Amino acid sequence: MSPKGVDIVTVALDTDVEAARPFHDAAPATHASLVDPGHELVAHFGMTNAPFAIWIDEDGTIVRPAEVAFAPRPPDAERPDQSSFVAQLPERQRTIIEGMTANIGDTDRYGAAVRDWADRGADSPYVLSEAEVVERSRPRPAEFGLAAAHFELAQHLHRCGFARDAVPHFAEAHRLDPTNWSYHREALSLVDPEWGQVYERDMLSEVEAVGIETFYPALDM
Amino acid sequence: MVIDRLDVTAEEFTAATGWKLEPRGACQDDVCVPLPPLDVDAEGRFDATVVADCLGMPIAHDETHGLWALGPRSGDRRVLDSARLPDLVLSDFDGNAFDLASARGRKVVLVAWSSW
């Protein structure tokens, strides 16, 4: 992509940067590979899960707001077959996981859209107007803003060594903004297994309760 | 930003929120929000909740640790106020700062991923 004038910049949304480092080290990046322990991308752009992406043009204008952005998958023969693993799960788990991932199967479409933008620039049909970008960005009602404040408190307490005290604020952030899965997934990743179950429900039950379709919302492109 | 007291100075409020207090109100970029007269004490401190309320910034509180966090402007609005890329400087894995504005002149796909 780079020769065509498209730079990929990746950002790890991990409160604990060291959790992301092994992945970074395993695939040395030729592009800018950044970290965002404060989840600024969530606050600024409304990324509610990962992987999510935005497009920024040469003038610094966002031309596509935050949306699910899975990279094109390698050919079947070159990737591990997870379908057999999922098929062995109990029916309820299998149904939830299949629902969660139903919208990521068409990864080639997203990659093709990026290539079209690389080739045609502003003439690409995937480029949105400024008004469309704002309109398609996530609503931020008062409860979502309060959720962001609780999430910030939780992150602060965790970083300061008060990990257990962070839990109620992580939980409150998720309760107030349940479809922002970056809050819930980050919180779960920071729980010490020795604490036992600190949140009311396990991940799959939570997804089922909130809405399976909210986990990876369908691409609108 | 997390703060440990709600009576703040104008400098502290700006550091926490990015909004400057000017005679015409709380201002950021081209936007100014009118404020009521603030009750400022001898140290230049005022009640942050008054300004936060005018700006639509919710406040979360942790009683145990005596901390507050001011949330982003919210209400009848969206995450993006405009399509302009905000000022944003992140770090790479070695701690080197990376200003997203440095990519100006090229198209950028900014991808968030995570270990979770």
Residue A32: predicted pLDDT: 95
Half-sphere exposure of A116 (CA within 13 A, CB side): 12
Residue B83 contacts A where some CB pair is shorter than 8 Å:
yes
Angle at CA B18, nearest 5°, toward A166 and A168?
10
Distance CA A100, CA A96 (A): 6
Q: How far is the C-alpha of A71 from the C-alpha of B112, rounded, in Å?
A: 12
The pLDDT value given to residue A76: 61
pLDDT below 70 — which residues of chain A?
1-3, 74-83, 105
For chain B, the straight-line distance linking the first and the last C-alpha, in angstroms and rounded, comes to 24
Find the CB nearest A51 among B82, B98, B113. Answer: B113
User: pTM value?
Assistant: 0.92
Chain B residues inside the 8 Å CB shell of A164? none
Question: Tens digits of per-residue pLDDT, A196-213?
Answer: 888 888 899 999 999 999
Mean pLDDT split into 10-residue runs, chain B, 116 residues: 94 92 92 94 96 96 97 94 94 96 94 95
Whether A89 and chain B come into contact, CB under 8 Å, resolves to: no
ipTM surpasses 0.90: yes
Shortest CB distance from A140 goes to which of B72, B85, B113? B72
Rounded to whole angstroms, the Cα distance separating A96 from B46 reads 50
Q: What's the confidence (pLDDT) of residue A71? A: 81
A137-177: pLDDT as tens digits: 999 999 999 999 999 999 999 999 999 999 999 999 999 99
Please name the residues in contact with B55: beta carbons below 8 A apart, sequence gap of 6 or more.
B17, B19, B26, B33, B73
Q: How far apart are CA A36 and CA A22, in angstroms?
A: 16
> Is any Cβ of chain B less than 8 angstroms from the Cβ of A113?
no
Alpha-carbon span A137 to A41, nearest angstrom = 13
Tell whether B60 lies on the interface with A, counting CB pairs under 8 A: yes
